[in-house]
Amino acid sequence: VGHDRPWSRVMLKLSGEVFGGGQFGVDPDVVQAIAVQIADVVRQGLQVAVVVGGGNYFRGAELQQRGMDRARSDYMGMLGTVMNCLALQDFLEKQGIDTRVQTAINMAQVAEPYIPRRAMRHLEKGRVVIFGAGAGMPYFTTDTVAAQRALEIGADVLLKATQVDGVYDDDPKKNPAAVRFDRISYNEVLTRGLGVADAAAISLCMENDLPLVVFDLLVPGNIARAVRGDRIGTLVTT
């Protein structure tokens, strides 16, 4: 992928699906492996903020299709992300990394409220800040929240770590001839309707020149590689 200026503060978006190892709930082995990767880059001096998805629990749109009220099921989706945050917090602390969870829905017993300036202070002190409960608003996705939080806390890049190793011109699971891009523009992602992240997230990145790297989370060391700017995954820029 390659980038010319060093990144010192990164926003890492972790898909919920990965946390579940393809099942409902959390797979502790997977979360532990992710925590090891994150601890590694924190020890190298990088400031890391994380937004965790919740697809391993509930997706509002899916529950809606099965007859539930959309807003209520979206809240269930957001609450699911918080369980992922706590699991990640636990394994990061076992690695000796200080963490704070901040949620967009207040739940004082388990997390701080989302306070951006406080989040930045935590990052400066070397703590990993894990953002949960999405935006606290139905009809949003955690991708959009990751872009918004990245901008608000001054992250240099949005690293979207998922189960796919980059952006393809077609769904690589369905079409074996699909081709992966090393680099692609925001505009092309939007006009081709590529399923990298939702359009709201891509638009936020585009309007604010926030680079986005999409890469496979489950290859050990990939977070460190993405942070270094090694040629992994796909870089989405202007």
Selected binder of ligand UDP within 34, 39, 87, 135 (CB under 6 A):
135
Q: H or E element: which one contains 142?
A: helix 142-152
Nearer to ligand UDP, 48 or 135 (CB): 135
Mask for 10-49, x = binds ligand UDP (CB under 6 A): -----xxx--------------------------------
First to last CA, the chain: 14
Contacts of 71 (CB under 8 A, 6+ apart): 60, 138, 139
CA nearest to 235, candidates 198, 188, 200: 188
Minimum separation from the CB atom of position 82 to ligand UDP (A): 10
Compute, in degrees rounded to 10, the torsion defined by CA atoms 232, 234, 236, 238.
80
Nearer to ligand UDP, 65 or 208 (CB): 65
Minimum separation from the CB atom of position 45 to ligand UDP (A): 27
Contact assessment for residue 85 and residue 130, using Cβ atoms and an 8 Å cutoff: yes
> According to CB under 6 A, which residues from 44 to 83 bind ligand UDP?
53-55, 59-61, 74, 77-78, 81
Minimum separation from the CB atom of position 200 to ligand UDP (A): 10
145 binds ligand UDP (CB under 6 A): yes
Q: Is 143 annotated as a binding residue?
A: no
CB count within 10 Å of CB 151 equals: 17
Nearer to ligand UDP, 126 or 136 (CB): 136
Q: Is 14 annotated as a binding residue?
A: yes
Stretch that binds ligand UDP, among 3-11, 129-137, 199-207, 212-220 (CB under 6 A): 129-137
Rg of the chain over Cα atoms, rounded to whole angstroms, equals 17
CB count within 10 Å of CB 126 equals: 14
Q: Is 237 annotated as a binding residue?
A: no
CB count within 10 Å of CB 108 equals: 8
CA nearest to 159, candidates 63, 227, 76: 227
DSSP 127: P
Selected binder of ligand UDP within 99, 102, 103, 142 (CB under 6 A):
142
The footprint of ligand UDP on this chain (CB under 6 A) covers a number of residues equal to 22
CA dist., res. 169 & res. 163, Å (int): 16
Nearer to ligand UDP, 15 or 89 (CB): 15
- Per the annotation, where are the binding residues for ATP? 13-16, 55, 59, 162-163, 168, 171
List interacting residues with ligand UDP (CB under 6 A).
15-17, 53-55, 59-61, 74, 77-78, 81, 134-135, 137-138, 140-143, 145
